[in-house]
Structure 1
Amino acid sequence: MNASLALEQTASAHAGKTAYTFLNTSATYGELNETVTRFAAGLQSLGLQKGDHIALLLGNSPHFIIALYGAMRAGVTVIPVNPVYTLNEISYILQNGDVKAVVMLDLLLPATENMHESLPSVEHYIVCESGDERAAGTTASSFTIYSKLKAFSELIANRDILQCPDIHEEDTAVILYTSGTTGQPKGAMLTHKNIYSNARDVADYLSITEKDTVITVLPMFHVFCLTVVLNAPIVSGAEMIILPAFSPKEVFKAAIEKKATIFAGVPTMYNFLFQFPDSNPADFSSIRLCISGGASMPVSLLEQFEKKFNVQISEGYGLSEASPVTAFNPLDRPRKAGSIGCSISNVENKIVNELGEEVIPGQVGELIVRGPNVMKGYYKMPEETGAAIRDGWLYTGDLARQDDEGYLYIVDRKKDLVIVGGYNVYPREVEEVLYEHDDIVEAAVLGAPDPDYGEAVLAFVVQKGNSLTEEEVLNYCRERLVSYKVPRSVEFLLELPKNTTGKILRRSLKDQIVKK
């Protein structure tokens, strides 16, 4: 079984059911499946074969779903790319990923023109109309890559018969380039088995069915969205409400008008929803489940959000190399605030010491993962693959602990650990304290070199107004933390730097420290 076949099965069982709504358009599962097949045949008409690589430079739209599933149906490996990356970032991924075709928005034509000479392996640029006024005056024939351009609409109008390739579960379906903290991004190769099994197991664990309506606002190029609010709903026959971008107003509007039952987001999204001035419990009255991932959610925010909107947030955990989900708070047992829950179906999580030995409950160690969702390796990086996967276990680089009931807690990223005078300081612990302050909206903590103690704790804070002083925040921390965990300094920012998924960019904050 693979995701493309799962779509066929869903279309067979629920042909007339709405698969998605997007702005003023919608499609049934029967229509979606037919369009996917046409796109797959269209790729074959361009000469793409099983094993070739295609990149998706797209935002949230039906184009993304059709291209993703169409490519997989044709046996073509998909590389989703953040469309707002810089030219250097995009060019690196397309080169390193040996991309033969690119599906992109018309808005990106000028940028593509500027970098196409460095991409000799790209033979086709499949262009989607964005409807954006900025692209209205773009004349395709004016570009030197004109001969390589093909309209997306032409491919989905294709009437050729698809020559179905023999797809094996260990064939690479998707390559996800991880942002990484050092060096260039690494391409995590996810097989058809990885992609399908994780979607199936997430849907099973969270009881997603054809009766659900899911708000799909997380970026589709990100693995969190890809599995939890795109593939899992398709496997289950649920309806997706696709939003092109995150907006608290539009999320609440969609939830009310479509009677949505599931919302998934990163902690930053929940923070914006909570802070939205016109929000009230009725906005999420139809929601049966809120899902959080991508980063640790501050316990104070989780509890305040649940109280305000009368919903339960199931926090989970995942990483690109695991397709991504390995754990979620269960729905049939108590949810534990601050925990990422328990292992999902068919996936094992274990906490080990530096020797790879499992530690006792309560003890901190590195979280390692095993299951059908674990990648087969990094593309063209055998050494990095060997370091990440040992004896069938994926070493996540995250520090965690487990309680007596099997619930897992992420303590921090192994690389983010701050050591002050020989004492371990986990940034998340300090951040939790800062988030409990009534006047602090966001906080991020990291370490910086210190001549006396090796490292010192620094805090970056976003406040509601401008009344807080550094000394007030430090005194607040001194009352709640042992001295070596108290930040040496506090810097106030208008906002914390984030990537397109809303995850705080610690590297950008570290760069600010270095410049100082």
Structure 2
Amino acid sequence: MNLSDQLSLTAKNHFSKPAYVFNGEETDYKTLEGSVTKFASSLESLGYQKGDHIALVVGNTPHFVIGLYGAMRLGLTVIPVNPIYTADEIAYIINNGDVKGVITLDVLMEKFEQMTSMIPNVEHYIVGETDPQLQGRESSLKEQTYSFTKLVQSGSLEFDRPTLNDDDTAVILYTSGTTGKPKGAMLTHKNLFSNARDTAEYLQIGENDRVIAALPMFHVFCLTVALNAPLVNGSTILIVPKFSPDAVFKVARDHQATVFAGVPTMYNYLLQYPNEEEKDFSNIRLCISGGASMPVALLEKFEQHFDVQISEGYGLSEASPVTCFNPLDRPRKAGSIGTSIVNVENKVVNEHGEEVPTGEVGELAVRGPNVMKGYYKMPEETQASIKDDWLYTGDMAKQDEEGYFYIVDRKKDLILVGGYNVYPREVEEVLYSHENITEVAVIGVPDENLGEAVVAFVVSNNEDLTEEDLRKLSQDKLAKYKQPKEINFLEELPKNTTGKILRRSLKEQVATQ
């Protein structure tokens, strides 16, 4: 089974049910299934065939859903790209990914017109219409440009689909590239389908659920948890074009949303939203957190305020992405990423790949049908990451006696102070426990005496809070070598488009001081 065939099956069983809601308008499963088939048919008419690569450079709109599933139905490999990337970043992915065509939006075409010489191998631009003011605009790429809407309308339902094999590459996801150039994780049809199915089962996402998709769809967290998993079981997806607390609360209220998925930063913004009358999550039965470790203080405050359970999980692009979630059939453990989801194994290993005793810290390794087949055109990097079918995540973790895993920190973020290991998250949790702290990031900086020193960056909602207040807090709760040497107050921490705090930017900031 694959996602394309599963959509056909879901549409057969739930044809009149809303598949998604966008800008207040519902689209049922029968209509979505027809649009996907006709779009695949039109792509074939343009000369695309199984194995070709196509980039999907759109935000959270129906174009993403139809474009993704239509391209996969033809057997194409889809490369989702962040639409706010710079020209250089987009060009690198398109060229490295051997992209033949680009699915994008009218509001982004000016960027592509300026990039023509950078991506000479792109043959077609399939453009979704979103802004009426841009209709009739002359484009220097008009000979290569096709209307997304017209391709869907003109396609045939008598489309003869190719056979999709489990090991065929369905999607290539380029990692954020915190070190060097981004790497393209090749995810197969089996990878994506199994993870969507197993995530839906583990989190009990079913046909009566209405799932808010406010995370960016090009990101693997949203792709699996808020898009593919709901479609597998006939849920309704509530598409939010761009995250904001008022947009999320409005969608939740207007459409009686039952599931919300977000990164910790989103939960922080929702909790801090000043208009109490609009903070309505009364129909939400489950909140899902991932993308970064959620501070325990934030998790507990959110659950108490909204009277809803947060299931924190863990994943990475190379694993499609989900490997763990806090189970729903027993109490969740604050600070834990939960237990292995069905059909996926996790273990904690030392530098020799040997499993460490319960409670000890090591690197988290993952095995299952969700693990990528490798990095595109990077065999050496693939070999370094996947050993004996186990994917080495680069995250430091530990496991308790009940099988719950805890992320201690990224392997590369470990701080060595005088030979002692300091995990940034431990220091961050202490600072987060102060009632006036809303965001924290801790990094290591070079120190001529100790090798590295701990530096903290904090955002406060109280201008009277002082460095001395936080120093006293850390002195009470942390060993001396773990205490921050410096505490810097910022108005906001640097983040990427998914809301993940960028420690790298903070390190660069310190280096230039």
TM-score range, shorter chain: over 0.9
> Counterpart of 1:122?
122
Amino acid at match of 1:89: E
2:249–2:278 Cα contact (<8 Å) kept: no
Per-residue CA deviation, residues 119-149 of structure 1 (Å, 9 max, x unaligned), is 1211000111122x7xx25754341x22110
Provide the residue aligned with 1:217 in structure 2.
214
In 2, distance between residues paired with 1:142 and 1:29? 34
The aligned runs of 1:146-161 (5 Å cut-off) are 146-160=142-156, 161=158
* Aligned residue in 2 for 1:275: 272
Deviates more, 1:230-239 or 1:462-471: 462-471
Q: Secondary structure at the match of 2:154?
A: coil
* Amino acid aligned to 1:166: T
Distance 1:465 1:471 in 2: 14
Cα displacement (A) at 1:163:
2.9
> Aligned to 1:389, which of 386, 406, 412?
386
Is structure 2 residue 257 aligned with structure 1 residue 265?
Answer: no
Q: 1:437 aligns with which of 431, 434, 438?
A: 434
Alignment of 1:157-236 (within 5 A): 157-160=153-156, 161-236=158-233
Deviations 1:434-484 (A, max 9, x none): 111111110000100000000000001111132122232222211211111
The residue number in structure 1 matching 2:479 is: 482
Retained in 1: the 8 A contact 2:173–2:185? Answer: yes
Residue identity in the other structure for 2:263? V
**2:462 partner letter:** G
Per the TM alignment, residue 266 of structure 1 is displaced from its structure 2 partner at its CA by 0.3
Distance 2:476 2:177 in 1: 36
3-state SS of the aligned residue for 2:477?
coil
Q: In structure 1, give the amino acid aligned to 2:205.
A: I
Aligned residue in 2 for 1:52: 52
How far off its partner does 1:24 sit?
Answer: 3.1
The alpha-carbon deviation at position 118 of structure 1 amounts to 1.8
Instruction: Give 2:39's aligned residue.
Output: 39
1:15 matched residue in structure 2: 15
1:301 to 295, 298, 303: 298
What secondary structure is seen at the aligned counterpart in 1 of 2:127?
A: strand
Question: The residue matched to 1:361 in structure 2 has which SS?
Answer: coil
Q: Where does residue 325 of structure 1 map in the other structure?
A: 322
Preserved CA contact (<8 Å) 1:280 1:308: no
Unaligned runs of 5+ in 2: none
2:192/2:370 contact within 8 Å kept = yes
Counterpart residue identity of residue 479, structure 2: V
Q: Verify: 1:353 aligned to 2:350, yes or no.
A: yes
Output the amino acid matched with 2:116. H
Structure 1 distance, partners of 2:332, 2:26, is 35
The offset of 1:40, in angstroms, is 0.4
Give 1:233-252 correspondences, 5 Å limit: 233-252=230-249
CA contact (8 A) 1:397 1:415 kept: yes
Distance in 2 separating the partners of 1:231 and 1:381: 27
Moved more, 380-389 or 475-484: 475-484
Amino acid at match of 1:114: Q
Say which SS state the counterpart of residue 164 (structure 1) adopts: coil
Kindly state the Cα deviation for residue 21 of structure 1 after the two structures are TM-superposed: 0.5
Contact 1:281/1:309 (8 A) holds in 2: no
Aligned to 2:4: 4
Q: State the distance in 1 between where 2:188 and 2:500 align.
A: 26
Aligned with 2:253: secondary structure? Answer: helix
Gaps of 5+ in 1: none
**Counterpart Cα distance in 2 of 1:439 and 1:351:** 35
Q: What's 1:93 paired with?
A: 93
- CA distance 1:281–1:59, shift in 2 (3 Å): closer
Aligned equivalent of 2:288, options 291, 313, 316: 291
Q: 1:422-433 maps to which residues of 2 (within 5 A)?
A: 422-433=419-430
The alpha-carbon distance between structure 1 residues 228 and 120, as it changes in their structure 2 partners (threshold 3 A), is: same
Query: Residue 247 of structure 1: CA displacement?
Result: 1.1
Q: How far apart, CA to CA, are the structure 2 residues paired with 1:416 and 1:307? A: 31
Range moving further from structure 2, 324-333 or 499-508? 499-508
Structure 2 CA distance for aligned equivalents of residues 221 and 277 of structure 1: 30
- SS of the residue aligned with 1:277? coil
Aligned residues: 512
Counterpart of 1:507?
504
Amino acid at match of 1:318: G
More deviation, 488-497/187-196: 488-497
Q: Which amino acid counterpart does residue 163 of structure 2 have in structure 1?
A: D
Contact 1:281 1:310 in 2 (8 A): no
- In the alignment, which residue of structure 2 is the partner of 1:466? 463
* AA aligned opposite 1:461: V
**Equivalent residues of 1:215, 1:242 under 8 A apart:** yes
